[in-house]
Structure 1
């Protein structure tokens, strides 16, 4: 049997040597052929070779050098901070460095074979629209949306973050030019057929978080004049670019036509609620006002470990809980937003749980339809 080529790029030579020695003396020695690299230039030369097959396992320190580098190798990131990716179909999986080598290689092999099964359908993957919505202000909706965009982009997904709030607080957190939204709205109204190329020119990019974005900063009147049809045109233009796996939409707590239309066009809706009587009342009122939506997942934010209110009045159970972060009670700098690894990881866990829930419900519905 031909061995799978495993190329390891790691600045920690001692760890890489130990990993290679373990593979050669274990049952994985019959499946993997290990080649170690300590210099980036050597790997870059290797990637220029045509029809290269196998796995590229690289440490997180080298990850920025490969974000836009095309290769036929299956990339896996060796991380000191991010725990193992939960799903084998994660596009760019992370493996936690400080685990047993047997478990690490077992997961590496599982990721690789799952990728081989999915490789035929990767080219046809469509852009998925995810909305983060809240019933009240200051519920942590924008922080949740930003952390979700970050987590997806760090796992190799191509992400576009779009805020449709009247004023976006994210504008002060992100690096890049966030003053172009009004220009985008102008082209959306005047020449919608050219909106795709205009997005290419006007979008911003945050180099730290590795995703593209657009956020309004001071166009309150223009945002109020934005119609549901405008939102449809904008989202169609974004998806037609075929550049993004996910569009994360940050929505304010209102029933404005642009907000409702965005919800209707979303595959997943992360509806943020607080364990608060007033917040629960407003969530119930918004549910009645907006009507039935597909893909709604209720998520309690700022959870302290004990639920005080009965959310059954919303007609759906709570699917996830996000922790209360005391340090965010008063935000005084943008850097505060990124300091909670626990919150960030749980946001990603929230999304994967909601995806699994939706897939299970779809499977049950299809089975019931087939039975009838």
Structure 2
């Protein structure tokens, strides 16, 4: 991921030190290239004829001094700059300030910073099942949590018709519902709005959209809109993994997500109905997508002491079997998610083994 080059020029040395301390965070240093100046002469000497993306400043500068920067954003001491594309409130939390700065920059430039490596680093992992109640959401989030704990940057995208995300991320967050408006009506501004509309879980650092359950809205999402949303998340160049949680329907949004997925975890439960429904979906190609079968990883969840009669007649290459856990009957979904020490890691190891065999 290419870094956003930001220059901070302020004569407020206390603020400069505060900003510098904040940027020491490894996550910030991975995303931003920051230079800080508190003297006009040094600032001019080191920025003249050197292109940078963003200048943050609370100092009046000449047009000549502003020329090297694609975007100049003023640090305002008055908190009325939210709708002003050229300023941000100086004394807000720096995490929020940088979010607003990036949103204004992307909106101004209409693009993200090009990836100089020419490689798309994001892995798009979808979780699907032919029947409800297979544990897709819990498995998707356990996988996302494990990745995040390994220092990976993860976005969790729930595309279920009726989702239960709030059971796992229980902190109250600002609604991200506006993202659906931009997806449908103003795709050009979608990338810039992702920065300000996404949420982050403070316990796991997983980022996600805090969307209210709205089955009607999800039902009218088109294939093109889902492809556009996933593309926009990729274009931010901020994530190592995009985890997509799908419901068990045959809706266009599921077909689109599976189409762009790097790998797919297909969950089965230890009952004949689950196996039969998945068999019909695959054999009859109800998903109508050219999904490489090698990318599908069948995971059998909630297995008991014995398999149901006839299980071996189904031609599934089951790569992971997860026993039914009686202790979970007394736990909330959040407790299951936060206490997991095995599911996320085992899914990661499964993918890792698959990639080694495939010579990736």
TM-score (normalizing by structure 1)? 0.61
Number of positions where the alignment pairs a residue of Structure 1 with one of Structure 2: 249
* 1:290 counterpart SS class: coil
Note the C-alpha offset of 1:354: 2.8
Q: Which residue of 1 aligns with 2:97?
A: none
CA distance in 1, matches of 2:173, 2:163: 10
Match of residue 159, structure 1, among 149, 154, 162: 154
TM-score (normalizing by structure 2)? 0.63
Q: Does the aligned pair in 2 maintain the 1:129–1:265 contact within 8 Å?
A: yes
137-146 or 303-312, which deviates more: 303-312
CA distance in 2, matches of 1:314, 1:354: 23
CA distance in 1, matches of 2:170, 2:275: 35
Q: Does the aligned pair in 1 maintain the 2:175–2:212 contact within 8 Å?
A: no
Alignment gaps of 5+ in structure 2: 1-19, 31-115
Does 1:268 find its partner at 2:286?
A: no
Match of residue 291, structure 2, among 281, 290, 293: 293
Q: Deviations over 1:137-194 (max 9, x none)?
A: 1111100001000000000100000000112112222044556343111011111011
CA distance in 2, matches of 1:348, 1:319: 14
Change (3 A) 1:226 1:359: farther
* Structure with the higher fraction of residues in helix conformation: 1
Note the C-alpha offset of 1:347: 2.9
CA distance in 2, matches of 1:221, 1:203: 21
Note the C-alpha offset of 1:216: 3.3
Superposed CA RMSD in Å reads 2.8
Q: Which residue of 1 aligns with 2:343?
A: 346
Does 1:68 find its partner at 2:27?
A: yes
Alignment gaps of 5+ in structure 1: 1-47, 49-64, 72-120, 364-372
Change (3 A) 1:125 1:232: closer
Does 1:213 find its partner at 2:208?
A: yes
Change (3 A) 1:219 1:242: same
CA distance in 1, matches of 2:190, 2:309: 45
Higher relative contact order (CA 8 A, sep 6+): 2
Q: Which residue of 2 aligns with 1:228?
A: 223
